[in-house]
Structure 1
Amino acid sequence: MPFALYLLGLAVFAQGTSEFMLAGLVPDIARDLGVSVPTAGTLTSAFAVGMVVGAPAAALLGRRRPSRQSLLVFLAVFLTAHVVGALTSDFSVLLATRVVAALANAGFLAVGLTAATGMVAPDAKGRATAVLLGGTTLACVAGVPAGAVLGQLLGWRSAFWAVALVSAPALVAIARSVPRGPAAGGPVPGAGTELRALRRPGLLSVLALAALVNGATFCTFIYLAPLVTEVCGLGPGWVPGVLALFGAGAFAGVTAAGRLADRGAGPVLPLAGAALLAGWTALALAAGRPGMAVTLVPVLGLLAFGVGSTLVTRVLYEAAADAPSLGGAFATSALNVGAALGPVLGGAALDGGLGHRSPVWVSALLVAGAGLVARCRPRRPEQPV
Structure 2
Amino acid sequence: MAESRPVPVAVRRFPAATLLLLSLGVFLTVTAEALPAGMLPETAADLRVSPEQVGLLISVWAVTVIVTSIPLARVFAYVDRRLVVGGSLAVFALANVATAWAPDYGIALATRVAAAVAHGVFWAVVMVYATALLSPSHLGRGLAIVTAGGTAATVAGLPAGTVLAQLVGWRVAFAALGLAALVMAVLVVARMPRLRPPRPDGDVHAGGFWRDRSLPAIAAFGVAAVLIALGQFATFTYVRPLLSFAGFDEGWAAALLFVYGTAGLVGVVAAGWLADRFPRAALAATLVVFAVALATLAAAMSTAAAVVVALVLWGAAIGAIFPLLQATLMRAATDRTRTLASAGIVVLFNVGIAIGPWLGGVVGGASAPQVTAAVSAIVLAAAAVAGGAGVLLAGRRAPVRDRA
TM-score range, shorter chain: 0.7 to 0.9
On the 8 A contact 2:97/2:179 being kept in 1, the answer is no
Partner residue in 1 for 2:3: none
Partner residue in 2 for 1:208: 223
Please show how residues 13-52 of structure 1 align to structure 2 within 5 Å: 13-52=27-66
Partner residue in 2 for 1:222: 237
CA RMSD, 1 decimal = 2.7
Mean Cα displacement is larger for which, 21-30 or 274-283?
21-30
Larger Cα-atom Rg: 2
For residue 204 of structure 2, what is the amino acid of its counterpart? A
How far does the alpha carbon of each residue in 1:136-195 deviate from its partner, in whole angstroms, 9 at most, with x for none? 00111110111222233333223312322332332222122211222x4x4455233346
How far does the alpha carbon of each residue in 1:333-365 deviate from its partner, in whole angstroms, 9 at most, with x for none? 2322222222232233456x7434454334223
For residue 215 of structure 1, what is the amino acid of its counterpart? L
Distance 1:68 1:375, change over 3 A: closer
Partner residue in 2 for 1:260: 274
Partner residue in 2 for 1:278: 292
Please show how residues 141-152 of structure 1 align to structure 2 within 5 Å: 141-152=155-166
Counterpart Cα distance in 1 of 2:245 and 2:171: 30
Please show how residues 184-333 of structure 1 align to structure 2 within 5 Å: 184=197, 186-188=198-200, 190-192=203-205, 193-194=208-209, 197=212, 200-229=215-244, 231-235=246-250, 237-238=251-252, 240-290=254-304, 292-333=306-347
Q: Provide TM-score, normalisation by structure 1.
A: 0.88
CA positional deviation for 1:279: 0.2
Mean Cα displacement is larger for which, 286-295 or 145-154?
286-295
For residue 377 of structure 2, what is the amino acid of its counterpart? A
On the 8 A contact 1:78/1:100 being kept in 2, the answer is yes
For residue 20 of structure 1, what is the amino acid of its counterpart? A
Partner residue in 2 for 1:98: 112
Partner residue in 2 for 1:175: 189
On the 8 A contact 1:198/1:204 being kept in 2, the answer is no
Counterpart Cα distance in 1 of 2:245 and 2:94: 39
SS of 2:180's partner is: helix
Partner residue in 1 for 2:377: 364
On the 8 A contact 2:89/2:181 being kept in 1, the answer is yes
How far does the alpha carbon of each residue in 1:81-125 deviate from its partner, in whole angstroms, 9 at most, with x for none? 111111113112212222221111111111111110001113322
CA positional deviation for 1:204: 0.7
For residue 208 of structure 1, what is the amino acid of its counterpart? V
Counterpart Cα distance in 1 of 2:303 and 2:44: 35
Mean Cα displacement is larger for which, 239-248 or 296-305?
239-248
Distance 1:271 1:35, change over 3 A: same
Equivalences, count: 379
Counterpart Cα distance in 1 of 2:90 and 2:254: 31
Mean Cα displacement is larger for which, 44-53 or 357-366?
357-366
Mean Cα displacement is larger for which, 195-204 or 153-162?
195-204
Partner residue in 2 for 1:338: 352
Counterpart Cα distance in 2 of 1:96 and 1:359: 35
* Gap regions ≥5 residues in structure 2: 1-13, 398-404
Distance 1:88 1:198, change over 3 A: farther
Distance 1:87 1:291, change over 3 A: farther
How far does the alpha carbon of each residue in 1:231-269 deviate from its partner, in whole angstroms, 9 at most, with x for none? 54322x555544333222222222222222223432333
SS of 1:325's partner is: helix
CA positional deviation for 1:54: 3.0
CA positional deviation for 1:378: 8.0
Whether 1:80 and 2:94 are equivalent positions in the alignment is: yes
Counterpart Cα distance in 2 of 1:313 and 1:274: 18
On the 8 A contact 1:51/1:105 being kept in 2, the answer is yes
1:154 to 164, 168, 178: 168
For residue 123 of structure 2, what is the amino acid of its counterpart? L
On the 8 A contact 2:218/2:341 being kept in 1, the answer is no
Whether 1:54 and 2:68 are equivalent positions in the alignment is: yes
1:123 to 131, 134, 137: 137
On the 8 A contact 2:275/2:282 being kept in 1, the answer is no
How far does the alpha carbon of each residue in 1:19-59 deviate from its partner, in whole angstroms, 9 at most, with x for none? 12322223432333222333222111111112223321221
SS of 1:89's partner is: coil
Counterpart Cα distance in 2 of 1:240 and 1:150: 20
Distance 1:374 1:355, change over 3 A: same
Distance 1:31 1:369, change over 3 A: farther
Partner residue in 2 for 1:139: 153
Counterpart Cα distance in 2 of 1:291 and 1:21: 33
For residue 307 of structure 1, what is the amino acid of its counterpart? I
On the 8 A contact 1:5/1:128 being kept in 2, the answer is yes
1:12 to 3, 26, 29: 26
Partner residue in 1 for 2:401: none
For residue 140 of structure 1, what is the amino acid of its counterpart? T
On the 8 A contact 2:230/2:376 being kept in 1, the answer is yes
On the 8 A contact 2:147/2:323 being kept in 1, the answer is yes
For residue 380 of structure 2, what is the amino acid of its counterpart? V
Mean Cα displacement is larger for which, 19-28 or 140-149?
19-28
Counterpart Cα distance in 1 of 2:80 and 2:62: 27
